[in-house]
Amino acid sequence: MAVKRKIIKDRVPTPERPVEERVKSFVEVNLGYTFELAVKEAERCLQCPYDYAPCIKGCPVHINIPGFISKLVEYRDNPDKAVKEALNVIWACNSLPATTGRVCPQEDQCEMNCVMGKVGDKINIGKLERFVADYAREHGIDEELLFEMIPRIEKKGQSVAIIGAGPAGLTAAGELAKLGYDVTIYEALHEAGGVLMYGIPEFRLPKDIVEKEIDKLRKLGVRILTDHVVGRTVTIEELLQEYDAVFIGSGAGTPRLINAPGINLNGIYTANEFLTRVNLMKAYKFPEYDTPVYVGEKVIVIGAGNTAMDAARSARRFGAEVTIAYRRGEEDVSAREEEVAHAKEEGIKFEYFINPVEFIGDENGKVVAVKFEKMKALDERDARGKRKIVGTGEYVTLEADTVIIAIGKHPNRLIINTPGLNVERGRIVVDENLMTSIPGVFAGGDAIRGEATVILAMGDGRRAAKAIHEYLTKKREGQNA
Amino acid sequence: MPYKILDKKEIAMNEVWYRIHAPHVAKKVQPGQFVIVRAFPTGERIPLTPIKWDREEGWIELVTFVRGKTTMRMANELKPGDEILNVAGPLGNPAPMKKFGKILAIGLITGMVEVFPIARAWQELGNDVTTLHVTPNPMVILKEDFEEAVSRHIVEGYDLQPGWGMQEIAQELVKRAVAKVKELLESEDWDLVFTVGPAGGQKAIFNVVREYGIPMEADLHPIMVDATGMCGACRVTIGGEVKFACIDGPGFDAYKVDWDELIHRTGFYAPMERLALETYLKQLQAQGGEQ
C-alpha cells in the first residue's frame, strides 16, 4: 500500500470518565475509541516498513503494529471486516489484546520510538489495540475467528501442565492449545487470571473482560483446575508423571515487607492483601459481597510503581485522603504515565524522598502514624540508572489510619521449594529455552524475573510454548523412531 | 470447580458437620493441614480443617462453628446434594509427626475439630495422648471419636447462663481451661502441650504451661484471605520474625508467639463481620415477612 500520507500531529484523544464521577466508583476510567475515532488515529500512522518499524522492535511480543493499524484504514467502510483483519494480525503474536491494550507501559515499549514522535504526538498504539479487542468481543468477531481456527488444529496426543493461570500461564496455554496439545492449568485461587484478577483494579481492567479472554482459552480446549495449589495439592514431580511437559508461571506473589517496627499493626496491608480484598473478593461491594476491607480516612501508600498507583486509586474510591510516599524523586516513579496522571487528577498527593522507619500504633495495636526519614539524592547512579539516595538524619511523621505497602514482590515460595529446581535469589533459573534445571519443566514470567510486567510474562509464555513444542516434537519423533 | 455435599447434619448447638466430595484434597491432606472453602458467588474464603477423609472415595469431613454470615448461610442454605463452589488445598504444613511421649492436646470450643486428626495420628505413632475439650455443654462434639482414638478424652463442659453474651462465654471458657490445665499439669508429667482455639484462650493456657516449662505447640488462626502465601493478612510475629501462618504454619512454638499482637490482629475485622451478619439477618427477616 503505497499511499502518500499527510502528517497529522495531534493524537485523537480517548474519552475518559470525569474525575468527580470516577473517584466514587470502580467503573473503567478510560472509555476507549469508537470505530470512527480509531480510524482517525490509525490514519496518522506513517506505516513504517516491517523490518524498520520501531514499534514492532519495542513490543516484547513483536506484534506487527503497522500491519494491524493499516487494516483499520484499509477496510474503513466495513468495520467488522476491518476489526477481524486487524485482530488476526494481533492474535498471531498476542492472545490477550484487551488486557495488554489497557495495562502495557506503551510509552516505554511500542510507542517509545514511534517516528511520529519526532514531529508530533506518537501513535496511540495501546488504545488502538484495545479498540480492536473490545470491538471484536462486543461484536462476536473474536469467536468467529476462533471457530475458524479450531478445526485447523491438529491434535498432537501429548499433554502439558501449566502452573498458574496468570498472564504467562494463560499465554502459554493458548499457544500450546493452538499447536494441538492437551493443556491443563493448575490455579491456586478460585478464579483464573492471576494478577489480572486479584491485582489490577476494575477501573483499569474490567474483570468481565478478563473472564471473556479466559473463556476463549476454554473454547480452545484448555482445562482449568482452580483450587489446586501446586506444591501442596500436587507436586511438580507428580505432574511430570502425568504430563509430557510442565510450565511454571506462578508469578511473584510473595509480598515484600518493610523491616521496621510496627509492621504488623492493624491497618497496615500489603498491596496484595488490599488489592485481593478489593478486586478478587470485591470488597468494594461489601456487605453485598462478604469480604470486608477497612479503609480509613488517611491512607499512606508506600512505593511508586503500578501496584502503588492501583492501591492508591482504589483507596481513593473509598473516600479516603491518599498520599503516595516514595523514597526517591519524581523522576524515578516507575508506574505507567497514564496511571500517574490519573492518580494526580483524582487528588492523590505525592511525597518524595521519604523512607518509612517506624509505624506508630495506638493501645489497640492500630496504626495511627508513620515516621519517615527524609532522604536526599546523590549525583551517583545505581545499576538501574537511578540516582542513589541516602538518609539525612531528619525525620517527619505523617498521620495515617491505613497504610499500604507496595514496594514489590518475590516469587511464590511454595513452588521454588521443589527438590531439584535450581533457584537463585528466589527466582527460578532457566536456560535460553526457558527450561529449568528439571528436564521437561519450563518457567517464565515473574517466577523467573522477580517482578516485571504483564506483557513480559506473556512474552515468556509464548517463548516457552515454542520451546515446549520443540521439546515435545523431539520427544514424539524419538518415540516414533 | 464445584464440590458436592455428600452429607450434612447439625452435630451440636451451632456446630454443623459436612462430608464433601473433594478428591484432590482427600488424596493429599495430612493432619494439621487445612482447606479454604468458598461457598457462594459473593462469598468469602474461609479456612476450615478436615477432621476425617477417605483417599479412595475422595471425601473430606468438615465442621463449622456457626458464628458469622458465611457459616450461618452455609448452615441455612446448603443441603446434601448441593455444591460448594470452591475447596482449595490442602494448605499449611502438616503437624510434626514424631514420638513426643505424653501429650496433652487441648481444643477450645470448635478448635477441637482441628485437634482430632493430629491427636489420633500422634496416638497411632505410639504417643500417650490425652485430649481436653473445653466448651459450653451444648457444643460438645466428636466425643465418641476422641474416646476411640486416644488414651484419655476429657470434656470440661460448662452450662451457658441466661443473659450471657460472647464475652461472658469466652471469659468462662478461659477460666475453665486455665483451671483444668493447671490441675492436669500439677498432677501429671507431660512432654508436650498442644492447643487450638481462640488466641485469647491459647495465650491464657500458654501462661500456665510456661510456669511448668513444658514444650508447647499452638495452631494459630489469624485472618486469612488467599491462604497461599500471597497476601500477608495472616502474618504473625514468631521469635521476633514476621511469618505467614498460611504457609509457615499453622503450627508454631507457643513460646515464640507474640500473643498480644495475634489477639489484636484477629479481632480487627470484628465490627465489619458483625455488620455482614446483621445485614444477612435483616434479609432473612424481610424474607420471612413476605412469606
**Both A363 and A265 in a single domain?**
yes
Instruction: Decide if A3 is inside a domain.
Output: no
Residues of B in contact with A294 (CB under 8 A): 268-269, 272
Q: Give me the pLDDT at residue A167, please.
A: 94
CATH code at A107?
1.10.1060.10
CATH code at A387?
3.50.50.60
Q: Inspect the interface and report whether the beta carbons of B90 and A234 lie closer than 8 Å.
A: no
**Both A429 and A389 in a single domain?**
no
Write phi, then psi, for A126 (nearest 5 degrees).
Answer: -60, -45
Q: Give me the pLDDT at residue A382, please.
A: 85
Instruction: Decide if A236 is inside a domain.
Output: yes
Residues 236-265 of B with CB under 8 A from A: 236-237, 242, 247, 258, 260-261, 264-265
> What average pLDDT score do residues B147-157 get?
96
Instruction: Decide if A310 is inside a domain.
Output: yes
A64 touches chain B (CB under 8 A): no
Write out pLDDT tens, residues B18-49.
Answer: 999 999 999 999 999 999 999 999 999 999 99
Instruction: Decide if A130 is inside a domain.
Output: yes
Write out pLDDT tens, residues B60-98.
Answer: 999 999 988 999 999 999 999 999 999 999 999 999 999
Q: Inspect the interface and report whether the beta carbons of B226 and A276 lie closer than 8 Å.
A: yes
- ∠ CA A149-A154-A158, nearest 5°, is 125
Instruction: Of A18-32, A416-430, B198-212, give the range with the top mean pLDDT.
Output: B198-212
> What average pLDDT score do residues B251-275 get?
93
More confident residue, A273 or A381: A273
Cβ-nearest to B232 among A255, A290, A414: A255
Model pTM score: 0.93
A189 touches chain B (CB under 8 A): yes
If pLDDT is split at 50, 70 and 90, which confidence band does A452 have? confident
Q: Give me the pLDDT at residue A81, please.
A: 97
**Both A75 and A112 in a single domain?**
yes
Q: How many domains does chain A have?
A: 3
Residue A464 pLDDT > 70, yes or no?
yes
Final residue of a structural domain among A381, A407, A433: A407
Q: In this structure, are strands A427-428 and A223-225 parallel, antiparallel, or unpaired?
A: unpaired
**Both A266 and A401 in a single domain?**
yes
Identify from A185, A232, A259 which residue to disrupt to test chain B contact, counting B C-beta atoms within 10 A and taking the largest count: A232
- What is the CA A280 to chain-centroid distance, rounded? 15
- What is the CA B153 to chain-centroid distance, rounded? 18
Mean pLDDT of the residues in chain B: 94
> What average pLDDT score do residues B182-201 get?
96
Polymer length in residues for chain B:
291
A241 touches chain B (CB under 8 A): no
**Both A358 and A261 in a single domain?**
yes
If pLDDT is split at 50, 70 and 90, which confidence band does B290 have? low
Q: What is the nearest CA distance from B268 to chain A, expressed in angstroms? A: 7
If pLDDT is split at 50, 70 and 90, which confidence band does B166 have? confident
B214 touches chain A (CB under 8 A): no
Residues 108-167 of B with CB under 8 A from A: none
DSSP string covering chain B, please? Answer: --EEEEEEEEEETTEEEEEEE-HHHHTT--TT-EEEEE-STTPPPEEE--SEEETTTTEEEEEEE--SHHHHHHHHH--TT-EESEEEEEESPPPP-S--SEEEEEEEGGGHHHHHHHHHHHHHTT-EEEEEEEEEGGG--SHHHHHHHSSEEEEEEEPPPTT--HHHHHHHHHHHHHHHHHHHHHHS--SEEEEES-HHHHHHHHHHHHHHT--EEEE-----SS-SSSS-TTEEEETTEEEEHHHH-SEEEGGGB-HHHHHHHHHTTHHHHHHHHHHHHHHHHHHHHH-
Final residue of a structural domain among A149, A167, A197: A149
**Both A54 and A119 in a single domain?**
yes
Q: Give me the pLDDT at residue A239, please.
A: 97
Instruction: Decide if A427 is inside a domain.
Output: yes
Q: Give me the pLDDT at residue B287, please.
A: 82
> What average pLDDT score do residues A248-254 get?
91
Instruction: Decide if A14 is inside a domain.
Output: no
Final residue of a structural domain among A149, A181, A205: A149
Residues of B in contact with A290 (CB under 8 A): 40, 42-44, 69-70, 276
Write out pLDDT tens, residues A336-378.
Answer: 888 999 999 999 999 999 999 999 999 999 999 999 999 999 9
**Both A283 and A347 in a single domain?**
yes
**Both A138 and A47 in a single domain?**
yes
**Both A442 and A476 in a single domain?**
yes
Looking at chain A, the whole-number percentage of residues with pLDDT higher than 90 is 85
Q: Give me the pLDDT at residue A121, please.
A: 95
Contact (Cβ atoms closer than 8 angstroms) between residue B38 and residue B52:
no
More confident residue, A413 or A472: A472
Instruction: Decide if A13 is inside a domain.
Output: no
Q: Give me the pLDDT at residue A381, please.
A: 87
Residues of A in contact with B1 (CB under 8 A): 225-227
**Both A271 and A207 in a single domain?**
no
**Both A262 and A248 in a single domain?**
no
Closest CA to A313 of A364, A366, A275: A275
**Both A195 and A57 in a single domain?**
no
Q: What is the nearest CA distance from A365 to chain B, expressed in angstroms? A: 6
Domains of chain B: 3-91 (2.40.30.10), 95-219 (3.40.50.80)
Q: For residue A342, give the H/E element and its range.
A: helix A337-345
Residues of A in contact with B45 (CB under 8 A): 190, 281, 291
Residue A293 pLDDT > 60, yes or no?
yes
Note down the domain range covering A141. Answer: 19-149
If pLDDT is split at 50, 70 and 90, which confidence band does A481 have? low
Instruction: Decide if A9 is inside a domain.
Output: no
